[in-house]
Amino acid sequence: MLLSSKRALSPATSSSSKRLRTSPAFRPKKIASSEAAAAVDSDPPLSKLLKVVEDGKATRKSGQSVVYWMRMGDLRISDNRALSLASAHAKKSNIPLVVVFMLSPQDYLAHDRGARRIDFTLRNLALIKESLGTLHIPLHVVTQPNRRTLPQAVIALVEELDASAIYANIEYEVDELRRDTQVCKAAKSKGIGAILVHDKCVVEPGVVETKQNRAYSVYTPYQKVWLTKLNADIPHFLENCSKPHPNSESVRKTAKFAKLFDSEVPESVSGFEMDPADHTKMEQVWPAGETAANDILLRFLRTKSRSSQLGAVDPLAAGAEDSSKRSRISVYDAERDRADKDTTSRLSPYLAAGVISARACVRATLPPNTNTNKAAATTVDGGKTTGVGRWVQEVAWRDFYVNILAAFPRVSMGRPYLEKYALVVWEGPALEDAYADEPGRPISEAEIARAASNIEKWKSGHTGYPIVDAGMRCLNEMGYLHNRLRMIVAMFLTKDLMIDWRVGEKYFMEKLMDGDLASNNGGWQWCASTGVDPCPYFRIFNPHSQSTKADPTGDFIRRHVPELSSVRGPDLHNPPALVADKLGYPRPIVKHDEARVRALRRFKDPGTA
Ligand SMILES: Cc1cc2nc3c(=O)[nH]c(=O)nc-3n(C[C@H](O)[C@H](O)[C@H](O)COP(=O)(O)OP(=O)(O)OC[C@H]3O[C@@H](n4cnc5c(N)ncnc54)[C@H](O)[C@@H]3O)c2cc1C
């Protein structure tokens, strides 16, 4: 029997999203048609938002407060541009600043957020509420059940607080930009100021362009111009935005605002509850708060890597050894691809949630006591030959992918950047519940079952390829994976198993603590060869040789695949059948050499089975 690819595939789905998804009323579309994506690309929502923001500048009314709308990507008080501007406005007008946060479970479902990421948000919000409280600034957390009416709910709240203006940092995803455009228009029509500013990147989208004023789709020239622009105006790009001024203590006694101080940060969001054991582990591995983020950054700048930090352990555990010459950042150029030690910073969850700013990360690479808010500070090292330079280049990758999301919003609509690869024949349907604009190809039940089984083995780390399994089990255990291993497991899913990259992208979003649409989509489309500046489709990683490079000591595999903990030498990376059988480890679910030939055929001529 043949089925349309819209038919449910049903491999492991997180239980939280399963519950919400069963509601017939909420079925967000995941994959737009190529025409719809092209239309959005030709008139990007960011330009529309910026136009409305500009138009709105003149129409300020006086009010009794100023609102800063905090979002999931800017969970901090220090160096937060919108918060800083909102605070200055409130101080100048001698009125209180109010911080609001809207919890939107339907958005979390539509955007494949996992319980871990929602919980991290709540943990950070609880600390922020405490810190703001010492400044007599209320943090008001509201749960908005219907995402379609969120703009109206925000405006109603702003009116209730009699705010003269609402400030926020821009989110660059299509849904969020459209939502904010609605909010800005509504605010403007009521004479309320709506000020949305860039904050997420070091160099904001739109600044780095080709000579023809187009967005770069290749990283190397982008990074070159990125660095030149940054070094030409360090005080602007690396500005350390001032912390908010305290409100007058009397705000706690006013009828309008007093009750806001009683508003609680919920312990969980319905549909995204954590398993208690996982919750305890995540608290240990990813402690919330700006202090933790700064300490993790300092560790990266000052101390050596340790293999004891491989698993789900406290990132700030005792025993780190100081070294200026061998600190993780100093040797980052040589060691960053080693997954058998904590060679990288592990700051991504904090950057993705905005617990630390990208500006702060780059500022930290400058000589001590550099005052970046003064002109002619110094030069940012973004070169290939030093650890610092290489690390700054990674931060630039983050900016690059945000720039892509803003310039080519199609990537946020479930489309490949390179539309010609939309025809590539994947095994099974595009997603378990691919609510798509276009019908898929007919797929047999046998193929659906085979794909579902392979996806399940990939997700749980039972593919018979030790480095892939170690990577997937690490992701499941600690909500994080080293970049090289993300590449290896993503390449394996898309090229060896020929499973659609959108399946992997979704699973990463659900599991990763640093899940971020721009970087995640960029990474997946790179590995699937469908994206900007992608890995060429004929460069297919061999998981065995990648394994010996990424994990030469084998410590990473042994840590995450206990069945193989007794194996030494090359067998660890490619266990012979007899060794695997004896240890209860699966044999490879696919033969790499054969799979490679199939992938080359399907990519060379998209549409060929
Ligand atoms: C398939 C795939 C999916 C990915 N999904 C995400 C994601 O959802 N969220 C996410 O933040 N990163 C993602 N990345 C990028 C990268 O793997 C992580 O940012 C990195 O592993 C985080 O570890 P770190 O903080 O120790 O990085 P470091 O090596 O210390 O780098 C510093 C910072 O630079 C940024 N960065 C580093 N590498 C990249 C990169 N390749 N692309 C974009 N930014 C980068 C991150 O913000 C990171 O914290 C993905 C990569 C791939 C291949």
CA distance 92 to 286: 38
- Reduced to 3 DSSP states, what percent helix, strand and coil does the chain have, rounded to the nearest 5? 50, 5, 45
C-alpha 314 – ligand 1 centre gap (Å): 20
Ligand-binding annotation for 396, yes or no, is: yes
Contact 585, 609 (CB under 8 A): no
Determine if residue 458 is labeled as part of a ligand binding site.
no
Give residue 166 CA to ligand 1 midpoint distance, Å.
31
Distance CA 290, CA 390 (A): 24
Gap between the Cα atoms of 177 and 183, Å rounded? 10
Any atom of ligand 1 within 6 Å of the Cβ of 169: no
Has 558 been labeled as part of a binding site? no
Does the Cβ of 129 fall within 6 Å of ligand 1?
Answer: no
Q: What is the pLDDT of residues 45-58, one digit of tens each?
A: 999 999 999 985 55
Give yes or no for residue 227 CB within 6 A of ligand 1: no
CA atoms within 13 A on the CB side of 324: 2
Verify whether ligand 1 is closer than 6 Å to residue 350 (CB atom).
no
Pairing of strands 193-197, 97-103: unpaired
Active centre residues (catalytic)? 394, 397, 426, 483, 501, 524
Question: In the numeric block, which tokens belong to residue 158?
Answer: 């702003």
Number of neighbours of residue 212 by Cβ within 10 angstroms: 5
Q: Which residues of 535-572 are buried (b: 16+ CB within 10 A; e: fewer)?
A: bebeebbebeebbeebbeebbbbbbbbebbeebeeeeb
As a whole number of angstroms, the distance between CA 196 and CA 81 comes to 10
- Tell me how long the chain is: 609
Q: Mutate which of 355, 484, 519 to test ligand 1's pocket (most atoms within 8 Å of Cβ)?
A: 519
The answer to the question of whether 345 is labelled as a binding residue is yes
Hey, CA dihedral for 316, 319, 324, 327, is it positive or negative? negative
Ligand 1 midpoint to CA 125 (Å): 23
- For residue 112 and ligand 1, the question of a CB distance below 6 A is answered with no
Position 367 scores a pLDDT of: 86
Residue 23: both structure tokens together:
């509601």
pLDDT at residue 18 in the model: 46
Residues of the chain whose pLDDT is less than 50? 1-22
> In DSSP terms, which residues pair with 69 in a beta bridge?
100
User: Which atom of ligand 1 is closest in space to residue 520's alpha carbon?
Assistant: 5
Residue 92 CB neighbours (<10 A): 10
Atom 39 in ligand 1: residue holding the nearest Cα: 394
**String of b and e for 282-314 (b: at least 16 CB within 10 Å)?**
beebbbbbbebbbebbebbbbbbbeeebbeeee
The atom number, within ligand 1, closest to the CA of 352 reads: 11
Look at residue 5 in the predicted model and tell me its pLDDT: 41
> To test ligand 1's pocket by mutation, which of 357, 398, 526 has the most ligand atoms within 8 angstroms of CB?
398
Nearest to 168 by CA among 182, 347, 160: 182
Q: For 508, what's the count of Cα atoms within 13 Å in the CB-facing half-sphere?
A: 28
Check pocket membership of 348 for ligand 1, CB cut-off 6 A: yes
Distance from residue 308's CA to the centre of ligand 1 (Å): 21
487 lines ligand 1 (CB under 6 A): yes
Cα(344) to centroid(ligand 1), Å = 10
What residue spans of 4-110 are helical by DSSP H? 15-21, 34-42, 45-55, 81-93, 105-110
| Closest protein CA for atom 35 of ligand 1 | 395
Q: Whose CA is nearest to atom 46 of ligand 1?
A: 348
| Alpha carbon distance 335, 342 (integer Å) | 10
How many other CB atoms are there within 10 angstroms of residue 275's CB atom?
12
Q: Could you tell me if 63 and 114 are in contact, meaning their C-beta atoms sit under 8 angstroms apart?
A: no
Ligand 1 centre distance from Cα of residue 87 (Å): 32
593 is in an annotated binding site: no
In ligand 1, the atom with minimum distance to the C-alpha of 524 is 1
Regarding the beta carbon of 455 and ligand 1, being less than 6 Å apart is answered no
Q: Is 433 annotated as a binding residue?
A: no
- Burial of 205 (C-beta count, 10 Å sphere; 0-12/13-18/19+): buried
515 annotated ligand binder: yes
Is the minimum distance from the CB of 524 to ligand 1 under 6 angstroms?
yes
Would the annotation count 346 as a binding residue? yes
Please tell me if the CB atom of residue 346 comes closer than 6 angstroms to any atom of ligand 1: yes
Atom of ligand 1 nearest to the CA of 332: 29
Domains and CATH numbers, the chain: 45-202+238-262 (3.40.50.620), 412-604 (1.10.579.10)
DSSP state of 533: S
For ligand 1, the distance from its centroid to the CA atom of residue 408, given in whole angstroms, is 20
Q: How far is CA 334 from CA 164, 291, 385, 551, in A?
A: 52, 29, 9, 14
Does the Cβ of 519 fall within 6 Å of ligand 1?
yes
**Residue whose structure tokens are 């010492």:** 134
Tell me whether residue 78 is annotated as binding. Answer: no
Q: Which secondary-structure segment (H or E) carries 334?
A: helix 332-335
pLDDT of residue 7: 32
Please report the atom of ligand 1 found closest to the CA of residue 517. Answer: 8
Produce one character per residue of 245-259: b if its CB has 16 or more CB atoms within 10 Å, e if not: ebbeeebeeeeebee
User: Do the Cβ atoms of 534 and 418 come closer than 8 Å?
Assistant: yes
Tell whether ligand 1 has an atom less than 6 A from the beta carbon of residue 297: no
CA of 505 to the centre of ligand 1 (A): 14
Put simply, whether the predicted model's pTM sits higher than 0.90 gets the answer yes
Phi, psi of 339 (to 5 degrees): -95, -5
Q: Which atom of ligand 1 is nearest to the CA of 516?
A: 8
Q: How far is the CA of 427 from the centre of ligand 1 (A)?
A: 27
Backbone angles phi, psi at 358, to 5 degrees: -65, -30
CB environment 432-442: b (16+ within 10 A), e (fewer): bbbebbeebee
